[in-house]
Amino acid sequence: MFSKQPRLSTLALFTAMISIALAAVTNTNLQTTFPTASSTTNLAAVQTILANETFDGEMLQWDRSPSTCNEQAEGADADAVFLLFDGATLSNAIIGPNNGEGIHCLRACTLNNIWWTDVCEDAVTFKGNGTGTVNGGGARKAEDKVMQHNGPGNVVVRNFYAQDVGKVYRSCGNCEAQFARNSRFENLFVEDAGVVVGVNGNLGADTTFISDSCVKGSVGAKGICNLYEGNDNGGEPTKTAGVPDGVTCATSGIRTTDC
| Region of residue 235 (left: phi > 0; alpha: psi -120 to 50; beta: else) | beta
CA–CA gap between residue 151 and residue 172 (Å, rounded): 8
Give one DSSP letter per residue of 54-103, joined into a string: EEEEEEEEEEESS----TTS---GGGSSEEE-TTEEEEEEEE-SS-SS-E
Rg of the chain over all Cα atoms, to the nearest angstrom: 20
Looking at the Cβ atoms of 29 and 54, the one nearer to ligand NAG is 54
Q: In the bound complex, what is the minimum distance in angstroms from residue 52's beta carbon to ligand NAG? A: 4
Cβ contact 82:47 at 8 Å: yes
Cβ contact 208:250 at 8 Å: yes
Q: Please give the C-alpha separations between residue 176 and each of 26, 82, 109, 198, 203, in angstroms, as whole numbers.
A: 37, 24, 22, 18, 12
Q: In the bound complex, what is the minimum distance in angstroms from residue 136's beta carbon to ligand NAG? A: 23
Q: In this structure, which amino acid lies at residue 53? A: E
Is 53 a residue that touches ligand NAG (CB under 6 A)?
no
Is 152 a residue that touches ligand NAG (CB under 6 A)?
yes
Cβ contact 210:254 at 8 Å: yes
Looking at the Cβ atoms of 127 and 167, the one nearer to ligand NAG is 127
Is 52 a residue that touches ligand NAG (CB under 6 A)?
yes
Q: In the bound complex, what is the minimum distance in angstroms from residue 88's beta carbon to ligand NAG? A: 9
Q: In this structure, which amino acid lies at residue 251? A: T
Q: In the bound complex, what is the minimum distance in angstroms from residue 72's beta carbon to ligand NAG? A: 28
Which residues 170-189 are close enough to bind ligand NAG by CB under 6 A?
179
Q: In the bound complex, what is the minimum distance in angstroms from residue 3's beta carbon to ligand NAG? A: 44
User: Binding residue for ligand NAG (CB under 6 A) from 31, 129, 211, 231?
Assistant: 129
Is 131 a residue that touches ligand NAG (CB under 6 A)?
no
Looking at the Cβ atoms of 105 and 120, the one nearer to ligand NAG is 105
Which residues 219-258 are close enough to bind ligand NAG by CB under 6 A?
none
By CB under 6 A, how many residues form the interface with ligand NAG? 6
For ligand NAG, the binding residues (CB under 6 A) are 51-52, 87, 129, 152, 179
